[in-house]
Amino acid sequence: MKIAFIGGGNMASALIAGLAGKLTAGADIHVVDPNADALERLRTQYGVTTATAADADAAVAAADVIVLAVKPQSMRDVAAQLRPLIDTARQPLVVSIAAGIRSADLARWLGYGAIVRCMPNTPALIGMGITGMTATAGVSAQQKQAADDILRAVGPTVWLDDEAQIDAVTAISGSGPAYVFYFIEAMQQAAKELGLSDEQGTQLALATFAGAAQLATQSSEPVSLLRERVTSKGGTTYAALTSMEQSGVKAAIVKGAKAAAARGKALGDELGAAG
Ligand SMILES: NC(=O)C1=CN([C@@H]2O[C@H](COP(=O)(O)OP(=O)(O)OC[C@H]3O[C@@H](n4cnc5c(N)ncnc54)[C@H](OP(=O)(O)O)[C@@H]3O)[C@@H](O)[C@H]2O)C=CC1
Ligand SMILES: O=C(O)[C@@H]1CCC=N1
């Protein structure tokens, strides 16, 4: 299977890192990006073949799967560049990971409709990503399987019936790692203000996050019950959670995630309406 990544930035690098070495023998990764330094790094680290955007032709024409990993704002121009290069008779699969961009708009720009739209996340870098996925009617069962194989190399996949749900997936797991890092940063700051060293604070915050996430994953009990078990009556956790609730922390997180989903929809509206 020949896979051409168009865009070798943050998310493509995370996917390639997770994929490298996991695909079956004969699988072949090409990366197209304008930045020579980024391509050099990907070649050295993961043994992929690279091309600058100017000579993407061969990689695109030969690809079984074309992964579009450019910014949503670049997608229309990139699709216009790719349109004459796609050999439609060979029926390659197009996989878009762009936030907001709808399959129908992408199909119009590409003049080609076998599209899987998905939303991965950066823990793919260490094989711990999760991806929400949808396929257009033009995607064959075999192509769907190929897309699933690629994304499952970096973590579980969740298939959605309705493409509109991808904005919700973006808000929860696509952007989600940033919310978690933000929370960890807050814990680091608190540790420092409470007199611990940077190193101690980081170690305690990270181990707590990893341990709690694993406990919640492995437990058959609801997360709320696990939280209650930490919260002794009249104790320290109760004091913390009461203060957080009074500050509206949970409501702010819910509101923030909804803002991410709304931004995904707005990107789709704005960029899709552009022509
Ligand atoms: N980062 C994340 O956590 C996630 C991102 N995504 C989606 O992935 C996509 C990429 O995001 P991200 O990796 O963060 O962004 P980056 O900016 O890191 O990567 C995009 C890359 O595409 C390159 N590029 C621009 N034009 C072309 C072209 N014509 N041909 C080939 N490459 C080109 C850019 O180069 P240059 O910088 O020179 O323009 C850049 O290196 C976005 O659509 C985003 O919505 C999805 C899930 C999670
Ligand atoms: O912030 C963004 O728009 C992208 C999509 C999900 C994560 N990063």
pLDDT tens, position by position, 31-55: 999 999 999 999 999 989 998 877 7
Give residue limits of the domains in the chain.
Answer: 2-169, 176-263
Residue 50 to residues 12, 26, 35, 193, 253, Cα–Cα distance (Å)? 13, 17, 11, 47, 40
Give the tokens for residue 99: 């936030």
Please tell me the CATH superfamily of domain 2-169, with its number.
NAD(P)-binding Rossmann-like Domain (3.40.50.720)
ipTM: 0.98
Burial of 254 (0-12, 13-18, 19+ CB in 10 A): exposed
Q: Say which CATH class 176-263 falls into.
A: mainly alpha
Burial of 156 (0-12, 13-18, 19+ CB in 10 A): exposed
Q: Whole-prediction pTM value? A: 0.95
Give the tokens for residue 48: 């992929």
Which helix (H) or strand (E) segment holds residue 133: the answer is strand 131-135
pLDDT tens, position by position, 161-206: 999 999 999 999 999 999 999 999 999 999 999 999 999 999 999 9
Residue nearest to atom 3 of ligand 2 (CA): 99
Ligand 1 interacting residues, C-beta cut-off 6 A? 6-12, 32-35, 38, 53, 69-72, 74, 78, 81, 97-99, 119-122, 174
Side chain identity at residue 167, one-letter code: D
Nearest bound ligand to the CA of residue 72: 1
